[in-house]
Amino acid sequence: MAFRLKNGEAVDAGFRRIVLEQIDSALEHLQGPLDQRQRAVHETRKSFKRIRALLRLLRPQLGEVFERENARIRDLSALLSPYRDADAMLETLEKLHQALPELIDDALYDAAHASLLRSREQVVEDAAGYPDAARQVCAGLGQARSGVANWPLPNSVEQVQNLLRKTYKRARKAFGQACDSGDVEDFHTWRKRVKDLLYQSQILRDTSLALPKSFRKSLDGFAELLGDHHDLTVFEELLAQPEVFADQQHASEVLELVRGRRLQLQEDAIHSGGELFALPAKQFFA
């Protein structure tokens, strides 16, 4: 299932096909066996992110449809958040332990991993609500699916070009805001706008609107850099939780190292972002 417009495919038909394929993928995973819950939640939320990135691309064209469908997908995603968050915390810890063993030593890792594993097991034990949540999400997706045929979609490449330029403009604006404030929330917002641009460039990579491969490669690497920054931000929050890190004195020492690493990533992101978003929006696709 290709998350992209096909070469020569009508623009509006292609966008409808992509949305329907992402909805159907989510439905297939959610209707699978319960022992596949972790994968089902992960794949469904990935489909949701793709759909919302496409909705943001089409926002000026969709009008009130955007508000309704974006809110629908956001709320459906929230129903699955408790199950995904429990997995994501463990994944973040494991990823950082492998990537930064000098910051997260074995003793700290083992204690935190055991605590987070217990937390996830508790979520799973409480997941008597998961089948009901999955049914609610499937019902909501069924309603969304029935309305896709009536979405007011663009039907020309020129329209899409202007829409993609708006995405670039939003990402560039978020870059400026993050640089000015240095606030972690602004960096997280910037990351989301970069991911929008990345997803949208994937949709268009087989069309005449394909961004240069070098730009897409740089964008992909940049999204990973901002993702690493976000992981460190999450880990800083975990370090402050006594129920996760019982040895808070040790945790506070590690916190300083992690914060220093995060701030270095911020500097790297600002430098790389200055190169990636050097063009004013009006010259993007000029």
For residues 167 and 198, is the Cβ–Cβ distance under 8 A?
Answer: no
What lies within 8 Å, CB to CB, of 216 at 6+ separation is: 198, 201, 202, 205
- Do 43 and 143 have their domain in common? yes
- Listed in sequence order, the residues at least 6 apart from 11 whose beta carbon sits closer than 8 Å to its beta carbon are 5, 153, 154, 155, 156, 157, 159, 160
- 116 found inside a domain: no
Residues 160 and 30 grouped into a single domain: no
Q: What is residue 247's predicted lDDT score, i.e. its pLDDT?
A: 81
pLDDT of 125 reads: 64
Neighbours of 22 (CB within 10 A): 22
Say whether both 142 and 259 belong to one domain. no
Q: What is the pTM of this model?
A: 0.87
- Number of domains making up the chain: 2
Tens of pLDDT along the chain (286 residues) come to 578 998 889 999 999 999 999 999 999 999 998 888 889 999 999 999 999 999 999 999 999 999 999 999 999 999 998 888 777 778 888 888 888 888 788 888 888 888 888 877 776 666 558 888 999 999 999 999 999 999 999 988 889 999 999 999 999 999 999 999 999 999 999 999 999 999 999 999 998 889 999 999 999 999 999 999 998 898 888 888 888 888 888 888 888 888 999 999 999 999 999 999 999 988 887 6
Residue 59 within any structural domain of the chain: yes
The verdict on 131 and 177 lying in the same domain is no
- Is there a contact between 233 and 184 (Cβ–Cβ < 8 Å)? yes
Helix axes 184-203, 37-62, angle to 10 degrees: 80
HEC states along 190-213?
HHHHHHHHHHHHHHCCCCCCCCCH
For residues 8 and 133, membership in a common domain is answered with: yes
128 CB neighbour count, 10 Å cutoff = 8
* Residue 277 three-state SS: coil
**Domain contains 212:** yes
Same domain, 52 and 7: yes
* Owning domain of residue 210: 156-286
User: Quick check: is 118 in a domain?
Assistant: no
Residue 96 and residue 59 share a domain? yes
Q: 117 lies in a domain?
A: no
- Residues 172 and 174: their CA atoms lie apart, in Å, by 5
**Residue 100 and residue 196 in one domain:** no
Whether 194 and 170 have beta carbons less than 8 Å apart is answered as: no
In a shared domain, residues 274 and 175: yes
**Residue 67 covered by a domain:** yes
- Does one domain contain both 52 and 26? yes
8 & 147 share domain: yes
Indicate if 2 and 142 belong to the same structural domain.
yes
CB–CB of 203/49 below 8 Å?
Answer: no
